[in-house]
């Protein structure tokens, strides 16, 4: 019973003062054998509580085992009380962590989420496999496959004769995911473009969508697989381009068009990263790619940085792309003709954080941008990771945009990059963004015609007069608004629910009075109007309607922006109108209108309210309350809140306007200028405010006209004089869910650090003569003695990182004087040893969030506790099952008395180790060997626990428990290393399932697994780790664990894969400690001493 209590105490550590039995060795402790007061107390407890036979066994053990350690009563009671109090504290922390994680997950999935508004697209797919693309053309043809998509309704030809395009699926993605975009492209071309002779003359042709079958490979988890995909795709592009000279001749033998030299790339998720990797591969054909569209792609940081190769790929391609646009167009590495558009799904994407889709730091604004689906006209809805490929609203826009950039008359099969970017901006952006150069000048506007006002019904408005039209007051066909001087009325805006530039509808014209000469009639537009054009007086007019932006309709009966109804909004800067004298609003055919039109000139400076004096503390505690907004009554007003610029914070907004009879319901647009993320809040009443921002570890790049913070743009009926009342409150619960997507790797890195620090505590106690305390006791001791200091240190680092410049870089030359080194050597040292402050810790750049690292470490203690309890439970269940399934006495006796150093056992271990090394070097990845080692470690823990529970038949009571505690702690360390090994093993298993047995390169490195294999083989013998009695040995153990802790703290979140390799150093040191005490170690020690003495004599 007594020893069973000891075993139970090890599990939860919430008993009264622990029963300590000294196990130190005789040769290590000389002198008095008199029991200490603590030992006397424990003996009294044993005498009072243990049965006589167990008491006799215990006394016999104390008498015949090693010399008891001298401990003061105060020290013993202090340790006991610490174990008692901190054990309960650990349980409280664990429970609170579970509750907090549950709240975070609930917030993540259910709070501050946009409404789903996607319609399912329909298609009739047909995939034609290209078997001719075989192993002679690519060495990966046996692993991957190439298909050509055809729609059974719109594509009658199974040969590629149009414009080549290639779809790249993402992590675990299917080649069939191309069907929605490809089908819609075929539909639009067949039903619309093919019937437009002008479009055909401009070189528009159907797109041939090829797609690649990667067998749903896990490209996000394995860099080697990503490189294989990139190499295969470059071979596939060369093959695709080689098809067209022959297939086009079949269609038209006298085709004047050049053979294609480039393909359009569409990539989903990691497929977008693979697309960018193509340019860095040795088999890349320069000029073979000029347009890339990516969907929900993590461009900036790897989503799962557990593999060093994938982290290196990200570093290499980002550096390549940053430099590629600065090189001349004739350079092989130039990206001057490459455009990249990154489309992000927003907060419904729970797989890839849309922050990392931001390419502002990689691609200049002249060649690409990032846009959210909530911003795209006629889409206006957020999307999850899969829906972004099949959402009907988005698919239509993407298909139309792709057809607008193709030009079969050019060898690249697309228009020049400037024209492509103009087309993409037209289809993907709202037109309300500041950085967009709309080219608002007279020479670029389409000429409408000559309008004679003598016989056309018209009406002149007064200078600066607002126009408000509806079905009640529409009286004429043309309304003329005089254009005032730029000061003070600097801007004109117009909002209507009517069609523009469409019959029946409305045309917005910019006109000036012209002389009696009629211009060349060839420049006129065929008006198709019932309007006579006399010779005088006349207005020369140009079209401004096509400069209007499409906005979602806002009515009292609408709740979402994706209703399908739209408004047209036109905004013109008066200073850009040049010599124009009038803005003419012209109605086609008949003077009637069912909706509304409102237009006005205003001073835009008076419509902007800046809340520059608000602080984050005021925002969190008091919120923002505006009783009257705007200060000047206009149709459009702006509220700029610089303090709201973090993607980790969410807010609730309430908007009130009571007592108005309006032409339209008040609606708003929330936006940030760092990337094109806009959200429209129609019929705004109560709304969630959340944004995406800069990714951690990325130095922010200021875009043109960059303005920090959130901007809210309100449209309200100016005919009602009642202002808006706006309240904005911080949403604490909604903010919790934003943490998990930004700092996922923290859940791996920080618990690993806690385990390392706990091991440091255990080894420190053990090397100073204590028993090897359990992991739970070691964790409690760490919390009591070290954790507060550790948290203060982490907080100081976090504060420094958040307040310093993000681009601050240090090197060894900055930290240590190097006057002795030459200038070239100093430069080399700086280049090799430099590190950026932004790459460390959490990559945080906001001083307000300095508390996140300490908070994450407190949560990591709870995660570590849960992991420890889980593993202890598994080991105990397996141990109980093993004993139950066997005859207990025979089973335990066989385990306890089995010789650990028999020759047959040693021979068997050597053979198994050699076989494992051969398999790793030739066939299986080293991650497979790690999983084997992990399972063997579980087996060793089970065996050790059975032995410890059977101490009444053993002569080494405490040593058995020491060994179990030691093995259990190493098991927990191995458990923390599983995320670095399981993903690659999944990739290997997937390759096996498709009969692909080619070995990975780095993943067959014996050095990456040899220390763990050797170590597991050593400790399976059941031999306890010898104490490090020497000061140097204790110092090395402590130093190694401290170095791993500091290094993991600084770089564990950014370069997570380093945690595994850092642990190999510690495992190697444990091997040295084990071997040093064996006959091999002693023989080597004697040999080295003899060599040293010999050299001393010679010298």
Q: What is the pLDDT of residues 885-935, one digit of tens each?
A: 776 555 555 555 554 455 676 677 788 888 888 888 888 899 999 999 999
E runs forming strands in 814-924: 835-836
What letter would DSSP give residue 1007?
Answer: G
| Res 853: pLDDT | 92
| Res 22: pLDDT | 39
Task: Tell me if residue 262 is catalytic.
Answer: no
All residue ranges of the chain with pLDDT < 50 are: 1-86, 253, 438-442, 517-536, 816, 818, 820-821, 899-900
- Which residue has tokens 């945690």? 1059
CA diameter of the chain? 126
560: CB partners within 8 A, 6+ apart? 115, 117, 381, 682
CA 64, chain centre distance (Å): 60
CB 104 within 8 A of CB 862: no
Q: Which backbone phi and psi does 559 adopt, to 5 degrees?
A: -120, -20
- The β-bridge partners of 267 are 168, 294
Q: Which of 117, 692, 852 is closest to 352 using CA atoms?
A: 692
> Which CA distances in Å does 889 have to 189, 885, 943?
81, 12, 14
Q: Which of 392, 404, 390 is closest to 163 using CA atoms?
A: 404
What letter would DSSP give residue 639?
Answer: E
Element (H, E) at 382: none
SS3 state at 310: helix
CA distance 432 to 661: 27
| Res 60: pLDDT | 37
- The β-bridge partners of 452 are 538
End-to-end CA distance of the chain: 64
Q: Which two tokens stand for residue 678?
A: 């806009």
991: CB partners within 8 A, 6+ apart? 143, 217, 997, 998
Q: Which two tokens stand for residue 692?
A: 């995406």
CA distance 946 to 965: 13
Helical spans, DSSP H, in 206-337: 223-251, 270-277, 308-324
- Which residue has tokens 């297939």? 247
Long-range contacts of 456-464 (CB under 8 A, 24+ apart): 456/531, 456/532, 457/591, 464/489, 464/601
What letter would DSSP give residue 137?
Answer: T
CA distance 1068 to 1040: 11
Q: Which two tokens stand for residue 1092?
A: 């040293």
CA distance 633 to 721: 7
CA distance 1013 to 1023: 16
Q: Which of 126, 137, 134, 202 is closest to 163 using CA atoms?
A: 202
Q: Are strands 538-543 and 447-452 parallel, antiparallel or unpaired?
A: antiparallel
SS3 state at 687: strand
- Domains of the chain from N-terminus onward: 1-84 (no CATH), 125-428 (3.40.50.1820), 442-557+569-602 (no CATH), 606-737 (2.60.120), 744-1085 (no CATH)
CB 370 within 8 A of CB 359: yes
- The β-bridge partners of 168 are 267
CB 385 within 8 A of CB 297: no
CB 568 within 8 A of CB 675: no
SS3 state at 378: coil
CA distance 145 to 143: 7
Q: Which of 462, 356, 343, 349 is closest to 394 using CA atoms?
A: 343
CA distance 259 to 248: 9
91: CB partners within 8 A, 6+ apart? 12, 14, 865
- Which residue has tokens 């609606």? 667
> Which CA distances in Å does 651 have to 113, 623, 624?
12, 9, 10
Helices vs. strands in the chain: H and E counts, helices first: 29, 30
| Res 5: pLDDT | 36
Q: Which two tokens stand for residue 1016?
A: 């597991």
pTM: 0.85
Q: Which two tokens stand for residue 274?
A: 């693979």
Q: Which of 639, 744, 731, 615 is closest to 355 using CA atoms?
A: 744
Q: What strands, in cross-sheet order, belong to the sheet with 506-513?
A: 447-452, 538-543, 506-513, 582-587, 478-482, 458-460
| Res 232: pLDDT | 97
- Which residue has tokens 């010779």? 535
CB 433 within 8 A of CB 533: no
- The β-bridge partners of 128 are 148
> Which CA distances in Å does 650 have to 48, 382, 619, 734, 977?
61, 16, 11, 6, 34
CA distance 398 to 389: 10
Q: Are strands 686-689 and 651-656 parallel, antiparallel or unpaired?
A: antiparallel
CA distance 551 to 624: 27
CB 318 within 8 A of CB 302: no
Question: Helix crossing, 37-49 with 73-110: angle to 10°?
Answer: 70
CA distance 804 to 835: 14
CB 405 within 8 A of CB 427: no
CB 298 within 8 A of CB 370: no
| Res 1078: pLDDT | 66
Q: Which of 241, 215, 211 is closest to 140 using CA atoms?
A: 215
604: CB partners within 8 A, 6+ apart? 490, 491
CA atoms within 13 A on the CB side of 395: 25
- The β-bridge partners of 292 are 265, 340
| Res 1084: pLDDT | 64
24, 83, 180, 269: which is the annotated catalytic residue?
269
What letter would DSSP give residue 69?
Answer: P
Element (H, E) at 628: strand 624-629
């Amino acid at each position: 019973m007594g020893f069973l209590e000891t075993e139970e105490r090890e599990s939860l550590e919430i008993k009264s003062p622990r029963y300590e039995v000294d196990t130190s060795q005789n040769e290590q402790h000389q002198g008095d054998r008199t029991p200490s007061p603590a030992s006397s107390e424990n003996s009294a407890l044993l005498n009072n509580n243990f049965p006589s036979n167990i008491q006799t066994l215990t006394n016999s053990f104390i008498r015949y085992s090693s010399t008891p350690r001298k401990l003061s009563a105060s020290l013993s009671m202090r340790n006991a009380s610490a174990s008692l109090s901190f054990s309960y504290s650990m349980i409280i922390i664990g429970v609170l962590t579970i509750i907090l994680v549950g709240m975070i997950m609930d917030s993540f999935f259910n709070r501050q989420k946009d409404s789903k508004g996607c319609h399912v697209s329909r298609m009739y797919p047909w995939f034609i496999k290209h078997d001719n693309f075989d192993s002679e053309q690519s060495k990966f043809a046996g692993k991957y496959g190439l298909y050509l998509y055809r729609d059974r309704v719109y594509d009658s030809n199974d040969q590629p004769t149009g414009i080549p395009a290639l779809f790249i699926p993402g992590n675990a993605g299917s080649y069939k995911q191309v069907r929605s975009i490809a089908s819609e492209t075929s539909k639009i071309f067949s039903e619309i473009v093919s019937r437009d002779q002008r479009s055909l003359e401009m070189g528009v042709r159907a797109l041939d969508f090829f797609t690649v079958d990667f067998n749903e490979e896990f490209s996000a988890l394995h860099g080697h697989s990503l490189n294989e995909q990139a190499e295969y795709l470059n071979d596939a592009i060369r093959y695709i381009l080689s098809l067209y000279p022959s297939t086009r001749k079949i269609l038209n033998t006298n085709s004047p068009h050049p053979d294609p030299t480039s393909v359009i790339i569409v990539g989903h998720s990691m497929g977008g990263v693979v697309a960018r990797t193509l340019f860095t591969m040795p088999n890349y054909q320069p000029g073979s790619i000029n347009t890339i569209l990516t969907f929900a792609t993590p461009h900036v940081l790897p989503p799962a940085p557990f593999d060093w190769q994938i982290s290196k790929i990200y570093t290499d391609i980002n550096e390549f792309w940053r430099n590629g646009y600065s090189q001349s167009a004739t350079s092989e590495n130039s990206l001057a003709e490459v455009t990249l558009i990154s489309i992000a799904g927003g907060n419904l994407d729970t797989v890839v954080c849309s922050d990392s889709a931001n390419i502002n730091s990689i691609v200049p604004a002249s060649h690409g941008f990032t846009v959210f689906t909530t911003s795209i006209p006629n889409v206006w809805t957020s999307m999850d990771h899969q829906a972004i490929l099949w959402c009907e609203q988005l698919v239509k826009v993407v298909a139309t945009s792709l057809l607008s950039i193709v030009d079969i008359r050019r060898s690249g099969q697309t228009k020049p990059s400037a024209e492509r970017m103009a087309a993409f901006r037209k289809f993907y952006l709202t037109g309300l963004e500041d950085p967009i150069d709309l080219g608002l000048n007279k020479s670029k506007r389409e000429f409408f015609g000559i309008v004679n006002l003598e016989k056309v019904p018209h009406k002149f408005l007064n200078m600066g007069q607002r126009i408000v039209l509806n079905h009640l007051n529409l009286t004429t066909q043309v309304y003329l608004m005089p254009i005032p001087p730029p000061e003070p009325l600097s801007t004109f805006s117009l909002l209507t629910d009517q069609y523009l530039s469409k019959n029946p509808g409305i045309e917005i014209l910019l006109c000036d009075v012209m002389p009696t000469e009629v211009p060349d009639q060839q420049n006129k537009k065929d008006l198709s109007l019932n309007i006579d054009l006399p010779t005088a007086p006349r207005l020369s007019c140009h079209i401004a309607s096509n400069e209007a932006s499409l906005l979602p309709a806002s009515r009292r009966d609408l709740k979402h922006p994706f209703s399908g109804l739209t408004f047209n909004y036109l905004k013109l800067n008066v200073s850009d109108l040049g010599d124009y004298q009038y803005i003419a609003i012209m109605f086609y055919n008949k003077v009637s209108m069912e909706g509304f039109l409102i237009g006005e000139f205003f001073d835009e400076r008076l419509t902007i309210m800046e809340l520059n004096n608000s602080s984050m503390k005021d925002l969190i505690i008091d919120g923002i309350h505006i009783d009257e907004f705007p200060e000047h009554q206009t149709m459009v007003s702006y509220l700029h809140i610089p303090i709201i610029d973090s993607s980790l914070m969410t807010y609730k907004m309430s908007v009130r306007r009571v007592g108005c009879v309006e032409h339209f319901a008040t609606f708003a647009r929330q936006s940030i200028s760092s990337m094109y993320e806009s959200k429209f809040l129609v019929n705004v009443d109560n709304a969630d405010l959340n944004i995406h921002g800069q990714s951690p570890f990325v130095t922010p790049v200021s875009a043109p006209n960059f303005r920090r913070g959130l901007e809210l743009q309100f449209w309200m009926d100016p005919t009602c004089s009642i202002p808006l009342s706006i309240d904005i409150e911080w949403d604490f619960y909604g903010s919790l869910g934003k943490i998990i997507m930004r700092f996922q790797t923290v859940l791996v890195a920080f618990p690993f650090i806690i385990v390392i620090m706990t091991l440091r505590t255990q080894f420190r106690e053990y090397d100073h003569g204590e028993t090897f305390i359990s992991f739970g006791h070691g964790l409690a001791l760490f919390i009591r003695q070290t954790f507060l200091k550790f948290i203060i240190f982490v907080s100081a680092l976090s504060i420094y990182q958040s307040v310093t410049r993000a681009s601050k870089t240090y090197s060894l030359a900055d930290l240590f004087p190097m006057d002795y080194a030459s200038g070239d050597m100093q430069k080399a040292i700086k280049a090799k040893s430099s590190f950026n402050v932004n790459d460390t810790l959490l990559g945080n750049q906001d001083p307000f969030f300095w508390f996140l690292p300490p908070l994450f470490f407190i949560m990591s203690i709870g995660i570590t506790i849960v992991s420890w309890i889980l593993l202890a439970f598994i080991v105990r269940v397996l141990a109980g099952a093993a004993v139950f399934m066997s005859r207990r006495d025979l089973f335990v006796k066989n385990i306890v008395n089995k010789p650990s150093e028999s020759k047959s056992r040693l021979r068997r271990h050597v053979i198994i180790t050699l076989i494992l090394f051969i398999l790793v070097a030739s066939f299986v990845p080293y991650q497979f060997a790690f999983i084997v080692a992990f399972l063997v470690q579980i087996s060793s823990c089970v065996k050790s626990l059975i032995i410890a529970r059977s101490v009444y038949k053993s002569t080494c009571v405490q040593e058995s428990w020491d060994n179990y505690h030691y093995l259990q702690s190493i098991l927990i360390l191995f458990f923390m290393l599983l995320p670095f090994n399981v993903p690659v093993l999944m990739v290997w298993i997937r390759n096996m399932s498709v009969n692909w047995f080619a070995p990975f390169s780095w993943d067959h490195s014996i050095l990456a697994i040899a220390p763990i294999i050797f170590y597991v083989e050593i400790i399976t013998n059941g031999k306890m780790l010898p104490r490090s009695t020497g000061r140097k040995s204790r110092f090395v153990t402590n130093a190694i664990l401290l170095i791993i802790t500091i290094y993991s703290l600084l770089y564990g979140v950014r370069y997570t894969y380093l945690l595994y390799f850092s642990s190999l150093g510690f495992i190697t040191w444990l091997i040295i400690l084990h071997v040093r005490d064996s006959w091999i170690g002693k023989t080597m020690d004697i040999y080295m001493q003899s060599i040293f003495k010999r050299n001393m004599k010679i010298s």
